[in-house]
């Protein structure tokens, strides 16, 4: 290890961790912590890569598929439900830990180590600990190599000190992680059930464009380049025209976001600013840049509103709608603002993100260094329509999915904040033990009391409440368990 490994904040963090009862990470793990196999790709077996190890909950969709015929003792390298994964290489993601809650028994490649946690310890707690500020500093000490190729030292990973709290405390924190996974899985099920209905329209979204195509002059518009007239685009639009449908411009009002100077950007500003990079398919991502309250007030027509949809107009054309508890937010330039009036925002957002919407947005996009669209071209996107009661049911499911994804993220954040609060003396083990025992008896009042203390900046910290609506959280968890 280099001098970088002994920076004051790292040594102080390890000293703090070791002031509690602790044990080396390897002693908590059933298998020897070591890199995964070096697979040959191009097979059919799911393989997780470093891109799967991002948030506390691992991304379950395999990053690649491998040929495992050359791997001896496959069962020894399979990732089981509840296993932890740690990135051993990669600038920006090295040392990142996620927990896998899938059932496909994938393998990892050589850049990830798998950790099967022993039954005596709670896997959700261990993952949350390793994602705290304290755990990340301890992991950081084991980073070695140059900026061109850095990696984690295996022996160091095995020796990482992990605080061993009371088993009830571990379970209380671990349950927050498992509840987060329950909500995430439910959200995916809801989305899948919606797609199952929409897929019954059997629209041609997987067709390949013909290499040679003759276009009728009746189809020609102001654009004379071949892109808008490629056969797979034309066939899709013709099929939608043949069924009940609406153009976006007929069911929504469209406007562009605020032309804000980058000089007005404030990291962690009072009012978040939605830029293209912040628009995700599941939720808004990393709203870390904002503006002053005064600027937000002055730019009233660019203020986000509940159920307003925003769509990035450069690069990837992702769409997302706002929930009331996400406001106030200001919308940046080159972000389209779509206010639906004859279709639920949840369903319109989903259509825009599905292949039917994405293909039409790409049909008329103009490419320079990246793809660009316009309000006019967003407005011309045709959306298939269903019976009103069907659309309402689908929109309700999509709204629940959106809320579930949001609260899932809050729960993983809460797990990390609870561990940090214990380390920093803001909460005691006795408080969490009492809350866990009360929950086992069917009483959530102590749990509510603790969660009410959580702010985005920590227990009793700065910023807004982490959970704006605890009733909604418990309601979603009940629904997810019931479904």
Say yes or no: 470 and 334 in one domain: no
Rounded Cα distance, 245 and 381, in Å = 10
Using the 8-state DSSP alphabet, how is residue 210 labeled? Answer: P
The domain containing residue 401 runs over which residues?
173-189+393-482
Say yes or no: 375 and 401 in one domain: no
Say yes or no: 101 and 227 in one domain: no
Which residues, listed in sequence order, are joined to residue 384 by a DSSP beta bridge? 245
Say yes or no: 184 and 154 in one domain: no
Among the three residues 350, 385, 420, which one is the final residue of a domain in this structure? 385
- Mind listing the pLDDT tens digit of every residue in the chain (483 residues)? 555 667 888 999 999 999 999 999 999 999 999 999 999 999 999 999 999 999 999 998 888 999 999 898 899 999 999 999 999 987 778 899 999 999 999 999 999 999 999 999 999 999 999 999 999 999 998 887 765 677 888 899 999 999 999 999 999 999 999 999 999 999 999 999 999 999 999 999 998 888 888 888 778 887 878 888 899 999 999 999 999 999 999 999 999 999 999 999 999 899 999 999 999 999 999 999 999 999 999 999 999 999 999 999 999 999 999 999 999 999 999 999 999 999 999 999 999 999 999 999 999 999 888 999 999 999 999 999 999 999 999 999 999 999 999 999 999 999 999 999 999 999 999 999 999 999 999 999 999 999 999 999 999 998 899 999 999 999 999 999 987
Say yes or no: 367 and 468 in one domain: no
In a domain, 235, yes or no: yes
Structural domain total, the chain: 3
CB–CB of 204/63 below 8 Å?
A: no
In a domain, 253, yes or no: yes
Q: What residues have CB less than 8 Å from 443, skipping those under 6 apart?
A: none
Say yes or no: 381 and 398 in one domain: no
H or E segment to which residue 66 belongs:
strand 64-67
pLDDT in tens, 428-442: 999 999 999 999 999
The candidate with the shortest Cα–Cα distance to 71, out of 102, 107, 34, is 107
pTM of the predicted structure, to 2 decimals: 0.93
Rounded Cα distance, 178 and 445, in Å = 20
Among the three residues 316, 350, 385, which one is the final residue of a domain in this structure? 385
CB–CB of 339/252 below 8 Å?
A: yes
Q: What residues have CB less than 8 Å from 12, skipping those under 6 apart?
A: none
How many Cα atoms sit within 13 Å of 8 on the Cβ side? 0
In a domain, 28, yes or no: yes
Rounded Cα distance, 251 and 322, in Å = 18
In a domain, 200, yes or no: no
CB–CB of 472/403 below 8 Å?
A: yes
The candidate with the shortest Cα–Cα distance to 361, out of 188, 211, 205, 218, is 205
Query: Cis (ω within 30 of 0) for the bond into 328?
Result: yes
Angle of CA points 279, 284, 289, to nearest 5°: 85
Sign of CA dihedral 329, 330, 335, 338: positive
Say yes or no: 178 and 278 in one domain: no
Give the ranges where 364-387 is alpha helix by DSSP (H): 375-379
Say yes or no: 230 and 377 in one domain: yes
In a domain, 362, yes or no: yes
Say yes or no: 363 and 226 in one domain: yes
């Amino acid at each position: 290890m280099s001098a970088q490994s002994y920076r004051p904040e790292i040594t102080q963090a390890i000293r703090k961790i070791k002031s509690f009862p602790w044990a080396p990470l390897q002693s908590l793990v059933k298998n020897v912590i070591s890199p995964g196999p070096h697979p040959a790709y191009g097979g059919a077996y799911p393989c997780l890569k470093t891109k799967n190890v991002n948030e506390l909950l691992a991304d379950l969709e395999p990053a690649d598929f491998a040929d495992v015929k050359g791997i001896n003792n496959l069962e020894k390298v399979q990732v089981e439900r509840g296993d932890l994964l740690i990135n051993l290489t990669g600038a920006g993601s090295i040392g990142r830990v996620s927990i896998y809650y899938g059932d496909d028994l994938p393998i990892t490649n050589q850049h990830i180590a798998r950790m099967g946690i022993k039954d005596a310890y709670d896997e959700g707690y261990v993952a949350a600990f390793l994602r705290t500020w304290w755990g990340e500093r301890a992991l950081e000490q084991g980073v070695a190599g140059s900026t061109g190729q850095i990696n984690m030292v295996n022996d160091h990973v095995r020796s990482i000190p992990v605080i061993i709290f009371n088993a009830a405390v571990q379970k209380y924190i671990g349950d927050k992680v498992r509840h987060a996974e329950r909500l995430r899985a439910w959200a995916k099920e809801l989305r899948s059930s919606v797609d199952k209905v929409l897929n019954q329209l059997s629209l041609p979204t997987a067709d390949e464009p013909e290499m040679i195509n003759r276009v009728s002059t009746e189809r020609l518009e102001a654009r004379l380049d071949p892109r808008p007239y490629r056969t797979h685009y034309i066939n899709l639009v013709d099929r939608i025209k043949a069924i009940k449908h609406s153009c976006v411009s007929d069911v929504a009002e469209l406007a562009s976001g605020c032309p804000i100077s980058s000089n007005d950007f404030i990291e962690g500003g009072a009012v978040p600013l939605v830029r293209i990079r912040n628009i995700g398919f599941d939720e808004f991502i990393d709203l870390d840049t904002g503006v002053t309250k005064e600027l937000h007030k002055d730019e009233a027509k660019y203020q986000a509103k509940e159920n307003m949809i925003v769509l990035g107009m450069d690069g990837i054309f992702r769409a997302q709608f706002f929930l009331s508890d996400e406001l106030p937010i200001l919308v940046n330039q080159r972000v389209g603002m779509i206010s639906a009036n004859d279709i639920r925002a949840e369903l319109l957002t989903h259509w825009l993100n599905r292949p039917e919407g994405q293909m039409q947005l790409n049909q008329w996009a103009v490419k320079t260094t990246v793809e660009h669209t316009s309000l006019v071209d967003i407005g011309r996107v045709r959306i298939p329509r269903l019976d009103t009661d069907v659309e309402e049911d689908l929109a309700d499911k999509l709204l629940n999915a959106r809320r579930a994804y949001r609260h899932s993220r809050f729960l993983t954040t809460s797990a990390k904040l609870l561990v940090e609060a214990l380390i920093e003396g803001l909460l005691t083990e006795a408080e969490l033990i009492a809350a866990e025992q009360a929950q086992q008896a069917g009483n959530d009042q102590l749990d509510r009391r603790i969660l009410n203390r959580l702010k985005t900046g920590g227990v009793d910290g700065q910023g807004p409440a982490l959970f704006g609506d605890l009733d909604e959280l418990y309601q979603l968890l009940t629904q997810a368990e019931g479904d």
